[in-house]
Structure 1
Amino acid sequence: MNSNLETIFNEAEKRYLTTDELGTMGNYVDSLPTRLSVYRWLRDQEVELLQTVADQLQQEYSQASVPVMEQCIKNGVLALRSCAMAMLMLDDNYVHDRVSWLKQSQQNYQSQEMDASFYRLLDKQLSRLLNTQQLSLLQPSLNVVQNVLGDRARAVEASENLSVSSLF
């Protein structure tokens, strides 16, 4: 949970909340229906969303090895799920804690460029499918992932038709 909200909950045991604290709590509660809606949408549309990204990634990287492509997509799926949960909880630290291992995976597979392309394509799809308010809720968590990985955006070619649903 967001550390500010956690502090507010802890303080509520000792005293009534201040006007500012109630405002913070109110803002979170007010945004929760939209957060839940975006989370449900991501959950329900994950395969279609990521299949489109995977197809575009394959076009850009038609000569890349299948294991590297698969790992890039698997990592992207796991990162997106972490971003969705962080968005729901309004806690970017959650996503940072969950994706810190991605950098090592990226180094092991030498997938820096492919990963950068994956997140660029994911951003493009999300921008096309979500409205501005919905995207603004998810974007901070996605930015955390991209910052963990570093922001490299060169294109190399990759191969084989992959199905996102076949990776899990």
Structure 2
Amino acid sequence: MIPKIQDLINQAQDRYLASDELGLMESYVNSLPERLKLYKLIRDREIEILQAVADQVPSELPNVTEADLETGVKNLILVLRYSSMAMLLNDENFLKQRLLNWLEGIMSMRDMRRLNETLYKLLNQGLRQQVSPVQLALIQPLITAAQVTLIY
């Protein structure tokens, strides 16, 4: 499930875990309640969060078409869902393997850079209002990884 933890377990099949290895496992276990809480919050408020983003786009980008906005929001939904799962698992590779390679390919077919910049800016603003700073620190690096892939 969690690659780093799996690696520790595999390495320690014939020995006890060293202090630094136990520290890594303990750090993840200690962060799990907050990760679960954040995952549930995003799951339960996904529509509210993303609707607020979609509603603000036309005022920021008056010339955006409905079709482009719909495509951008659908992609943002996937990013938020996969980022949430990667955060829960503490596994950025999950996000890269499952989502980013695919999104990078489809996004290169259309020029949606400006729309994506706006969507991510608004998503980040919304998350700052909806989640605690500790929770934001858990999810933000993953959303940033997606943002960097899609915009640059």
State the TM-score bracket (shorter-chain normalisation).
over 0.9
Show the counterpart of 1:6. Answer: 6
Paired letter, 2:47? V
The 8 Å contact of residues 116 and 151 in structure 2, kept in 1 or not, is answered as no
Query: Pairwise CA RMSD of aligned residues?
Result: 1.4
| The 10-residue stretch of structure 1 (83-92 or 57-66) with the greater mean CA deviation from structure 2 | 57-66
Q: Distance between the aligned counterparts of 1:137 and 1:7, measured in 2?
A: 22
The 8 Å contact of residues 36 and 88 in structure 2, kept in 1 or not, is answered as yes
Show the counterpart of 1:119. Answer: 120
The 8 Å contact of residues 49 and 126 in structure 2, kept in 1 or not, is answered as yes
Query: TM-score, normalized by length of structure 2?
Result: 0.93
Show the counterpart of 2:94. Answer: 94
Q: Distance between the aligned counterparts of 1:61 and 1:122, measured in 2?
A: 15
Describe how 1:50-65 pairs up with structure 2 within 5 A: 50-65=50-65
The 8 Å contact of residues 8 and 17 in structure 1, kept in 2 or not, is answered as yes
Show the counterpart of 2:144. Answer: 143
Q: Distance between the aligned counterparts of 2:108 and 2:149, measured in 1?
A: 12
Question: Residue deviations 1:65-100, cap 9 Å, x none?
Answer: 221111100000001101000000001111111222
Q: Which has the higher contact order (CA 8 A, sep 6+)?
A: 1
C-alpha deviation, 1:40, in angstroms: 0.2
The 8 Å contact of residues 68 and 109 in structure 1, kept in 2 or not, is answered as no
Show the counterpart of 2:106. Answer: 105
Question: Residue deviations 1:86-115, cap 9 Å, x none?
Answer: 000001111111222212322323111101
Paired letter, 2:136? L
Show the counterpart of 1:15. Answer: 15
The 8 Å contact of residues 72 and 115 in structure 2, kept in 1 or not, is answered as yes
Show the counterpart of 1:37. Answer: 37
C-alpha deviation, 1:134, in angstroms: 0.6
Show the counterpart of 2:71. Answer: 71
Gaps of at least 5 residues in structure 1 are: 152-168
Moved over 6 A (4+): none
Paired letter, 2:122? L
Does residue 47 of the first structure (1) align with residue 47 of the second (2)? yes
| The 10-residue stretch of structure 1 (57-66 or 113-122) with the greater mean CA deviation from structure 2 | 57-66
Percent identical pairs in the alignment equals: 36
Gaps of at least 5 residues in structure 2 are: none
C-alpha deviation, 1:46, in angstroms: 0.2
Is the helix fraction higher in 1 or 2?
A: 2
Q: Distance between the aligned counterparts of 2:123 and 2:68, measured in 1?
A: 18
| The 10-residue stretch of structure 1 (2-11 or 64-73) with the greater mean CA deviation from structure 2 | 2-11
Q: Count residues in correspondence.
A: 151
Query: TM-score, normalized by length of structure 1?
Result: 0.84
